[in-house]
Structure 1
Amino acid sequence: MRAVRVARFGGPEVLEVVEVPEPAAGAGEVLIDVEAAEVLFLDTQLRAGWGQEYFKLEPPIVLGAGVAGVVRSVGAGVDGGLVGRRVIAGTAGVGAYDGGGYAEQSVVPASEVFPVPGGLELTTALAALHDGATALSQLDLATVSAGERVLITAAAGSLGSWLIPLLSATGATVVAAARGAAKLERARELGAHETVDYSVAGWSDGLEGVDVVFDGAGGEIGRAAYAITRPGGRFLGYGAASGDFAGADHRDDVTVVGIYQPDPVAWRELPRRALQLLADRSLTPLIGQTFPLAEAAAAHAAIDSRATVGKTLLIV
C-alpha cells in the first residue's frame, strides 16, 4: 500500500510517498481502509523536529493522528460487528502520538474508533475527532457565561470553526483574532462579533479587555492576549502555532489552563458528543482545503505558509 513517510526532519520536501507492506490488526486493534486523513498543525511541527520533549519520534516515520474510513478487519478481542462500519479513529491512545494516518490503510487501537452516524460525510465527521473534542473540552474548562467577552486566537483555523459558533451560542461576545482580511471574513461568517488582525503591529493595544482567552497561537500573539485578560479571567493555552505556549508569566488574578493530560475515558466521550452535534446539524465545521494523499508535502507547505483556513485533509 502507499504511505507518506518523513524521511528526515525538515521542511515539507522531506515527505515522500513510499510503498510499504499492508498492515494487519493485532489484538485489541482495528484495520481501517482510509478515505481521509487529517493534517494537524502539530504534524507540521513534528515533521520539522519540534516537540521531542513531548513525543519521541525518530524518522523514518509516517505521520497522521486521525483517519476516517471503513473498517476492513479487527484483531482478537474486538467486536466483529465493526467490520464494514464507517468510522473515524485516532491512531494512538489519548495524549500519545504514534502516527500512521497518512496511508491507504491504518491500524488503530479499538478504543479510539468512533462509528459515524448515517448521513454524515466522512470528511465532515473527521473534524469531530480532535477539533470537536478539543473545542468541547476547552468549553467545559472555561465555563463561559452570557455577557462575557471572549477572545479566540488562530480563530480561522480548524478549531475556530467549532469555538466561534459554540461560544456565540452561549451569549458571549466573541472576538476573533486571525491573520489577514480573508481569514477575518471567515471568522465573521462563523459568527464572530468582532475581529482583529494580529499580523498588524500593536494589534491588541486598542482592544478592550476580555474575560476569557482561547489561545491556539501561543508565542507573542498569545502573550499579547494574556496581557489584556481581565482580572478574574481565564486563559486557556492549548496551541503553539507561533512556536511556544503562552501564559507562563504568572498573574495571581488570571486562571491559566495549559496543556493537560485528560482522563482517557472521559475524553473519549468528547468525539461522540461532537459527532452528535454534526449529525444534528447543530454545527458545520469548516473543511478549508483537501489534497490527494500523494500531495501531503503541498498540504504541509500550505499550513507552514499560514495560507490555510479551517481543516486540512488528505484524501486517499
Structure 2
Amino acid sequence: MRAAVVTRFGGPEVIEIQDLPAPAPGAGEALIDVELTDLIFVETAIREGAHGGFFDVTPPYVPGNSFGGVVRAVGEGVGADWIGKTVVGRTASFGAHAEQVVAPAENLQELPAGLALETAVAVAGDGITALMLEELVPALAGRKVLVTAAAGGMGVLLVQLAHRAGAQVIGAARGRAKLDLVKAQGADVVVDYAEPGWDKQVLEATDGHGPDVVFEGAGGALGATAFEIVADGGWFSAHGAASGGFAPYDEAEAERRGITVKGIVDLRADTTSTTVTTAQVLDRAARGDVAPVIDRVFPLDQLADAHRAMTGRQLVGKALIRIQ
C-alpha cells in the first residue's frame, strides 16, 4: 500500500510516499480503506521534532491521526457487521496518511445519513476539541469572547459556537481573506493581529474591560498578548501552538488575577474531565451546529505541499488529504 512517511525530523521535504506492507487488524481493531484524512497544524510541528513531551514518535513514521473510509476487515472481538461501513475514526497514535490503516474499533463512528464524508473528516478532530472547550467554559451568553487563530479549522468552529451561544465574538486572524471568513462565521468584530496594536483594538471592542473568555489557538507571543488582556476573573484556554508553542503565562499572575486557565492537558482524551464523543460531534455537524470550512483537498502525493501551505499561513479554513 502507498503511505506518506516522515523519514526524519525536518522540513516538508522529509515526507516521502513509499510502498509499505498492508497492516492487519489485531484483537479489537478494524482495517480501513482510507479515503480522506485530516491535517492539523500540530502535525507540522511534530514533523519538525517539536512537542516530544506530548507526542511520543520517532522517525520513520506514517503521520496522520483522523481519517474517513470504509471498513475492509475486523480483528478478533469486533463484530463482522462493521465490514463495508463508511466510518470516521482516529488511530491509536499515528498512521492515517496511508491507503489502509488499523484502528481500535472503539475509535470508529459510522457516518450518519446525509453527512458528507469530507465534512465528517473535517469536523471530527477539531470538533472534539471545540466541544470539549464548550463543555469546560462558563456560560457564554452575554460574554465578550476573543478567538485567536479564528480562521483555522478549530477557530472557525469556536467562533460559530460562541456566536450561537449569544456571546459578543471578537475574531483575531491574519489578512483580509481570513478576517472576511471569520466575520461570515458570526464574529461581531474582527482584528488583524499582523498589525501593531491589535490588542488595543480588542480592548476597545470590550470597552477597556478585556475579553471575559479567550479561546487561544495561536500560541507564542500572540498567545502571551492575549493572556495579558483577558479580563480579571476571566477564562483562558491555551490550546493552540500555531506560532511554535503554547501561549506562555505566569501561573502566579493568573492566580492573582483570578483567571482560570485550561491547557492542552485538559483537552487530551486520557486526562480530560469532559465527556465529548465523536458521535456527538457528527450529530452536531449533521444538524448544522458546527460547520467546518474546507479550503483545499490535497492528494496524498502532495502532503508535503499541504504542510507548506499550512505553515505558510496560506489556508483559509481546513485542509484535507485525499488518499484514494
TM-score (normalizing by structure 2): 0.92
| Cα offset, 1:48, TM superposition | 0.8
Q: Is the Cα–Cα contact under 8 Å of residues 290 and 313 in structure 1 kept in the other structure?
A: yes
Q: In the TM superposition, what are the counterparts of 1:61-210 in structure 2 within 5 Å?
A: 61-92=61-92, 98-208=93-203, 209-210=210-211
Flag the 1:232–1:266 CA change in 2: closer, same or farther, 3 A: closer
Q: Is the 8 A contact 1:137 1:270 kept in 2?
A: no
Gaps of 5+ in 2: 204-209
Aligned to 1:221: 222
1:281 shift after superposition: 2.8
What SS class does the counterpart of residue 161 from structure 2 fall into?
helix
Counterparts of 2:79 and 2:62, CA distance in 1: 27
Q: Give the secondary-structure state (helix, strand or coil) at the position aligned to 2:43.
A: helix
**Residue identity opposite 1:80 in structure 2:** A
- Identify the residue that residue 261 of structure 2 maps to in structure 1: 256
Equivalent residues, number:
311
Cα distance in 1 for partners of 2:200, 2:129 equals: 29
Instruction: Give the counterpart letter for 2:125 in structure 1.
Output: H
Q: Residue 149 of structure 2 contacts residue 155 of structure 2 at CA under 8 Å; is this kept in 1?
A: yes
Q: CA deviation at 1:205?
A: 2.3
Match of 1:212 in 2: 213
Corresponding position of 2:51: 51
Of the candidates 268, 280, 288, which is equivalent to residue 273 of structure 1? 280
Secondary structure in 2 matching 1:62:
coil
Moved more, 141-150 or 24-33: 141-150
Q: How far apart are 1:19 and its partner, in Å?
A: 0.5
SS in 1 for 2:153: coil
Is 1:219–1:243's contact at 8 Å kept on the other side of the alignment? yes
Structure 1 gap ranges (5+): 93-97
SS in 1 for 2:234: strand
**Residue from 275, 281, 284 that aligns with 2:291:** 284
Structure 2 CA distance for partners of 1:206 and 1:188, relative to 1, 3 Å: closer
CA contact (8 A) 1:90 1:129 kept: no
Sort the Cα spacing of 1:126 and 1:266 in 2 relative to 1 into closer, same or farther, 3 A: farther
Task: Please show how residues 20-31 of structure 1 align to structure 2 within 5 Å.
Answer: 20-31=20-31
Structure 1 residue 202 displacement after superposition: 2.4
Find the residue that maps to 2:198 and give its secondary structure.
coil
SS state at 1:89 partner: strand
Give the distance between the partners of 1:291 and 1:285, measured in 2 at CA.
Answer: 16
Change in 2 beyond 3 A, CA 1:164/1:134: same
